[in-house]
Structure 1
Amino acid sequence: MFSAITAKIRMNSSLLSELDGVIGDADHGITMELGFTTVEAALASNEGETDLGAIFNNAAKSFLNAVGASTGPLYATAFMRAGALLKGKTTADDDDGVQMLLAMAKGIEERGKAVPGEKTMVDAWRPAADAAQSERAKLSSLGTCLLAAADAARAGAENTKSMLPLKGRSSRLGERALGHADPGAVSAALIIAAMAESLA
């Protein structure tokens, strides 16, 4: 899963930085690629680890060490929440997979003190979590749940184009940010898509 995320972020790094150049400092793609490349290397150096909780905690620590600013703590929190959920497990079933996604979304919301509608990554993560949970309530497979989450995240990221930014540096732009997707929401949609593709 982490390798799939790294590959997708790397493939879209220039796009993410280009989006960030409109409402930020044009380094989101570089930052995200650095973070996940570091995670991938850290997990590869400890590939004998089978405890899923330990794997996610290693990812959290590696991402935080590589990435500063707000993105580092947000994704570190997401991975730590997933790690706490999966601690001691060497395999995960469909419910675990959906709960992992929900835990990650909630961790990002709580750490960032953000809610949907503020033009942040939460606008991708929250719809994704809700879509996965809704599908699982119908006893859908993990693959179906994650594909629904990926679709919802993509739509959520697209919807940020019509939002005014209320958090972070981009909030200073006001109406000039209209028409531009939030780069954090776009990268979140890419991450969730990679999760779906690798786990489905």
Structure 2
Amino acid sequence: MTDTIGTTTLLDWITRFRDAVVEKRDWLTELDSAIGDADHGANMARGMTAVVDKLGGGVPATADELLKGVGMTLVSSVGGASGPLYGTLFLRMGMTAGAVTELDAAALAAALRAGLEGIVARGKAEAGDKTMFDAMSPAVDAFDAAIGGGADLASASRRAAEAAAAGRDATLPLVARKGRASYLGERSAGHIDPGAASTAILFDTLAAAIAGSS
């Protein structure tokens, strides 16, 4: 079997991500209530539900159509910082993926890297700022390293998910330097960043979708 991810698997990823953020909505809100506006869980659940509803169970013909559609729906339906950031992630992924029906490991790596760069361009975050970047950057790096070392998509995506989870947990002691949490100064330490938490869910569901397709 060719080691690729097709539009059906991409749709499965998006659906799994929706299901997971809906399930963990209260937890994400609890995290955000400590250092933010207490709306991250609700925003992500609402946005991803809108995404899946708009897709209507149909599989878009190409990867860019699917990913750009996800991005545009998130930008238009989610308030706060999460809509523009996640929307940019998926829009950039779609632009990089192009009008193809499946992505090989290198193409998925390029799309994820472009998504990360889009988040950096929009949010100006760096490592240690206590944002979703602290989970996403290690995940994309881990995916690249695994693919470069000859790993298949399933193994690479699982390593990315593990790196995202570790990045999420590493935000616990950090003092926030970006976003609403930065207003708290030292009081932001001792809390996991909610954006990093949802990013870890994003990569965990990607790994699950790829594993489920093999």
Asked if Structure 1 and Structure 2 have the same fold, meaning a TM-score greater than 0.5 normalized by the shorter chain, the answer is yes
Offset, 1:51: 1.1
- Could you tell me whether the CA contact under 8 Å between 2:88 and 2:119 is conserved in 1? yes
**Following the alignment from structure 1 to structure 2, what is the Cα–Cα distance between the partners of residues 157 and 118?**
12
Partner of residue 9, structure 1: 21
Q: Deviations over 1:157-179 (max 9, x none)?
A: 10001110001111111111111
The equivalent residue for 2:155 is 144
Task: Return the offset for 1:48.
Answer: 4.8
Q: Which residue does the alignment assign to 2:121? A: 110
User: Secondary structure, in 3 states, of the residue corresponding to 1:162?
Assistant: coil
Any unmatched runs of 5+ in structure 2?
1-12
Coordinate RMSD, CA, aligned: 1.1
Q: Identify the residue that residue 24 of structure 1 maps to in structure 2.
A: 36
**Tell me, which stretches of 5 or more residues in structure 1 are unaligned?**
none
Instruction: Please tell me whether residue 69 in structure 1 is matched to residue 80 in structure 2.
Output: yes
Tell me the SS of whatever aligns to 1:161. Answer: coil
What is the identity, as a one-letter code, of the residue corresponding to 1:123? D
Q: What's the % identity of the aligned pairs?
A: 36
Contact 2:97-2:108 within 8 A present in 1 as well? no
Question: How far does the alpha carbon of each residue in 1:90-134 deviate from its partner, in whole angstroms, 9 at most, with x for none?
Answer: 111222222222222221122111111000000000000000000
- Paired residues in the alignment total 199
Give the whole-Å Cα distance in 1 for the aligned partners of 2:16 and 2:109. 18
Query: Letter of the aligned partner of 2:85 in structure 1?
Result: L
Q: Write out the 4+ residue segments of structure 1 that deviate beyond 3 Å after TM superposition.
A: none
**Are 1:91 and 2:121 an aligned pair?**
no
Amino acid at match of 2:176: P
- Tell me the SS of whatever aligns to 1:130: helix
Quote how far apart the aligned CAs of 1:49 are: 2.3
SS at match of 1:140: coil
- Give the TM-score normalised by the residue count of structure 2: 0.90
Q: Distance in 1 between matches of 2:131 and 2:75?
A: 19
Q: Which residue of 2 is the match for residue 172 of structure 1?
A: 183
Deviations 1:126-168 (A, max 9, x none): 0000000000111111111110110000000100011100011
- Normalising to structure 1: TM-score of the pair? 0.96
Measured against aligned partners, the alpha-carbon deviations of 1:39-93 in whole angstroms (never above 9, x if no partner) come to: 1111226x25211101111111111111122211111111111111122101112
